[in-house]
């Protein structure tokens, strides 16, 4: 793959990641998701505002934002990682919305899906279990992200650089959750009571 083609793919992946799925879905129901609950334009906050059905809609779209660029370049694995990371950055820091985006968990799961599907399934199950028990989506996310790294390492079917790539992506997502971590420590973290 030429450098120009790769650069274009990275830029396209970034802008694909900026698709404001949570904002669009919530707005279609008359809700400004950036002013509701945590204010985060993500699936969890949409679920809090509109219910489980809309949580699923936003979650699937956000997963697709990471999965599609990664899957399209899966035969060029380094390029797949770069484009997947670009989609996550686009989701978290969308230039179209003054760099104020979501937290990257679902889009990160989308990147993980074509690369390590079993790891993604285990992490998703862990996220759902922790969320169901604690009602805290932030805690579920903070725990599921490092679990993905551990599982990738345990699988062993990867190059060393892939582990570092995952660590970098995970660090970005975890940094985006610093506010959640601070609220958890102080006991003020929002609960996720998804409407039926």
**Distance between CA 91 and CA 110 in Å, rounded?**
12
The continuous run of DSSP H or E covering 4 comes out as: helix 3-17
Q: How much is the pLDDT for 196?
A: 54
Q: Residue 114: its pLDDT value, please?
A: 96
Residues 73, 78, 83: CA angle, nearest 5 degrees: 55
User: How far is residue 20 from each of residues 33, 34, 43, 60, 91, measured CA to CA in Å?
Assistant: 11, 11, 11, 13, 8
- How does the average pLDDT of the chain come out, rounded? 91
% of residues, the chain, pLDDT over 70: 96
Q: Does 193 fall in a domain?
A: no
Q: Is residue 65 included in any domain, yes or no?
A: yes
pLDDT at 89 over 80: yes
Band of pLDDT at residue 182, cut at 50, 70 and 90: confident
How remote is the C-alpha of 126 from its chain's centroid?
15
pLDDT tens figures, 11-46: 999 999 999 999 999 999 999 999 988 788 999 899
Domain for residue 28, yes or no? Answer: yes
Q: Is residue 192 part of a domain?
A: no
**Predicted local confidence at residue 146, as pLDDT:** 93
Longest Cα–Cα distance of the chain, Å, equals 51
Q: Is residue 154 part of a domain?
A: yes
Lowest-pLDDT choice from 16-25, 29-38, 57-66, 81-90: 29-38
Report pLDDT for 136: 85
The pLDDT value recorded for residue 29 is 94
Does residue 195 lie in a domain region? no
Calculate mean pLDDT across residues 167-182. Answer: 89
**Residue 25 located in a structural domain:** yes
Whole-number pLDDT of residue 195:
56
Mean pLDDT of 44-72: 94
Mean pLDDT of 113-119: 95
Q: pTM of the prediction?
A: 0.91
Q: Is residue 166 in a domain?
A: yes
**How far is the C-alpha of 101 from the C-alpha of 95, rounded, in Å?**
9
Q: Count up the domains in the chain and report the number.
A: 1
Domain extent for 150 = 3-186
């Amino acid at each position: 793959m030429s450098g120009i083609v790769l650069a274009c793919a990275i830029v396209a992946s970034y802008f694909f990641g900026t698709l404001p799925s949570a904002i669009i879905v919530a707005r279609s129901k008359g809700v400004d998701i950036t002013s509701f609950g945590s204010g985060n334009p993500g699936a969890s906050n949409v679920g809090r505002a509109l219910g489980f059905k809309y949580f699923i809609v936003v979650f699937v779209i956000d997963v697709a934002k990471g999965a599609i660029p990664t899957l399209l370049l899966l035969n060029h694995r380094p390029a797949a990682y770069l484009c997947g990371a670009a989609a996550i950055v686009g989701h978290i820091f969308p230039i179209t919305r003054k760099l104020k985006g979501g937290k990257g968990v679902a889009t990160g799961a989308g990147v993980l899906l074509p690369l390590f599907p079993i790891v993604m399934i285990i992490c998703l199950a862990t996220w759902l279990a922790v969320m169901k028990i604690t009602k805290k989506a932030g805690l579920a996310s903070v725990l599921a992200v490092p679990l993905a790294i551990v599982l990738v390492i345990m699988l062993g079917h990867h190059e060393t650089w892939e582990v570092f790539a995952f660590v970098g992506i995970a660090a970005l997502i975890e940094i985006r959750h610093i506010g959640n971590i601070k609220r958890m420590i102080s006991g003020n973290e929002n609960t996720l009571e998804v409407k039926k």
